[in-house]
Amino acid sequence: MSISPDGAAPRLRFEERERATLSPYAAFAGESRGRAVHEPEHDYRTAFQRDRDRILHSKAFRRLKQKTQVFLAPEGAHYRTRLTHTLEVAQIARTAARALYLNEDLVEAIALGHDLGHTPFGHAGELVLNEAYPGGFNHSEQSLRIVEVLERRRNGTGLNLTWEVRDGIRNHSCAKCILAGEPPGAAMSFEAAVVSLSDAIAYINHDIDDALRGGVITEQDLPSDCLEVLGRTGSDRIDTMVRALVDGSSNGRIDMTPEIREATQRLRLHLYTYLYPCETISREIRKAQKILRELYDYLIANPTPETPPPRPEDPEGRNVVDFVAGMTDDFALQLYERLFFPAPWRP
Ligand code: MG
């Protein structure tokens, strides 16, 4: 049954509306390159809306709430976690995509899925697995592996997302090229490039906010020439950066206006040089790395009942990498305690 005036399925009307109203550079749901395994289309959701919903309902998405952004297992409720980071990226990306007449549903799906593959304890965990596992480890590839293989593992198709969403997840780290004024490494949709820049806009600003809140830095520690151009508050800076993204993207590429792009890049590099390696943060990261390295080594030699069984097509140890990478901060700490701390005797 349909309440649309001509009796057509609502999805067909939405696809038509996309063709009529979006930019010619947009990715149109009705022209998707499709899924690895063919599925009939839905009556009232486009392919990209469906993908967004599948990601939102996945287990990996729910685990993001207990994964570190920058501050490890923060006790204050106001610090970002990987989940709130993801939601901020989705908001920024949708705002920019709508202003650019790009596909908001595709942008939202990519944004919600982009960090699913993050390890516990943020990049600290990524470094440990990359060093320990002979095949190497990268969170973007792991995000893709989660949606293609690990979620809904039993039916063997993962979430079976469209090519466009998987491509956006795979290439979500290209902002560092765009901000450096270089072409992004891979050909990708405009929507994927918007998410990538929105990811940088989100983390630059919320990591500053969290660092100020935690007393790790004061405003004087930030480069004043950048703040003059970008704004003194997080909200002003996000607005400046998103405007620069909308105004700077035309004629077949996603970019920011040059002055704001350069100031954003300087601010970003400042965080990488002074904030992330600072002793307050790196002291805790070293502890987290030690825990994850010991967990990995132990689980390679001694699978626990929770370790997922190896898949015959995977190289040896991949199931342990997937297990460790999928852990939340809390789960990793609890497992470490269970495996390595003596249990109190309770008669
Ligand atoms: Mg991110």
Q: Check residue 8 and give its pLDDT.
A: 81
Classify domain 46-207+279-298+317-328 by CATH number: 1.10.3210.10
pLDDT over 90 (residue 223):
yes
Element (H, E) at 171: none
User: Mean pLDDT throughout 251-272?
Assistant: 94
How many C-beta atoms lie closer than 10 Å to residue 241's C-beta? 28
The pLDDT tens digits for 44-66 are: 999 999 999 999 999 999 999 99
Q: Is the pLDDT of residue 307 over 80?
A: yes
* pLDDT at residue 4 is higher than 70: no
For position 103, what pLDDT does the model report? 98
The band of 266, judged by pLDDT with boundaries at 50, 70 and 90, is: very high
Q: How confident is the model at residue 28 (pLDDT cuts 50, 70, 90)?
A: very high
Query: What pLDDT score does 76 carry?
Result: 80
Q: Give the Å distance between the CA of 208 and the centre of ligand 1.
A: 15
- Average pLDDT over every residue of 304-328: 94
| Interval between CA 313 and ligand 1 midpoint (Å) | 29
User: DSSP string spanning 69-83?
Assistant: SSSSS-SSTTS-BHH
Q: Is the pLDDT of residue 187 over 80?
A: no
Report the distance separating Cα 168 and Cα 140, nearest Å: 10
Between the CA of 154 and the centroid of ligand 1 the distance, in Å, is 28
113 vs 131: CA distance, rounded Å:
25
| d(CA 132, ligand 1 centre) in Å | 23
Res. 343 pLDDT band, cuts 50 70 90: confident
| Mean pLDDT value across the chain | 92
Taking the centre of ligand 1 as the mean of its atom positions, its distance from the CA of residue 199, in whole angstroms, is 5
Q: Ligand 1 centroid vs 143 CA: distance in angstroms?
A: 11
DSSP string, 189-233: -HHHHHHHHHHHHHHHHHHHHHHHHTTS--GGGS-HHHHHHH-SS
Say what the pLDDT of residue 151 is.
93
Work out the average pLDDT over 155-174.
Answer: 91
Boundaries of every domain in the chain: 46-207+279-298+317-328
pLDDT value for 310: 92
| C-beta atoms surrounding 245 within 10 Å | 29
* Residue 49 · residue 41 · CB < 8 Å: no
pLDDT value of position 284: 87
Q: What does the pLDDT read at residue 72?
A: 66
Tell me the per-residue pLDDT of 74-116, one tens digit each, with 9 for 90 and over. 678 899 999 999 999 999 999 999 999 999 999 999 999 999 9
Q: What percent of the chain has pLDDT over 70?
A: 97
Gap from CA of 118 to ligand 1 centroid (Å):
9
For 93, what's the count of Cα atoms within 13 Å in the CB-facing half-sphere? 34
* Three-state DSSP class for residue 315: coil
4 CA to centre of ligand 1 in angstroms = 38
- The confidence score (pLDDT) of residue 156 equals 77
pTM for this structure? 0.95
In sequence order, what are the beta bridge partners of 162? 35
Q: How far is the CA of 85 from the centre of ligand 1 (A)?
A: 7
Residue 186 CB neighbour total at 10 angstroms: 12
The pLDDT of residue 70 is: 78
Cα-Cα-Cα-Cα torsion 314, 317, 320, 326, nearest 10 degrees, comes to: -50
User: Is 160's pLDDT higher than 60?
Assistant: yes
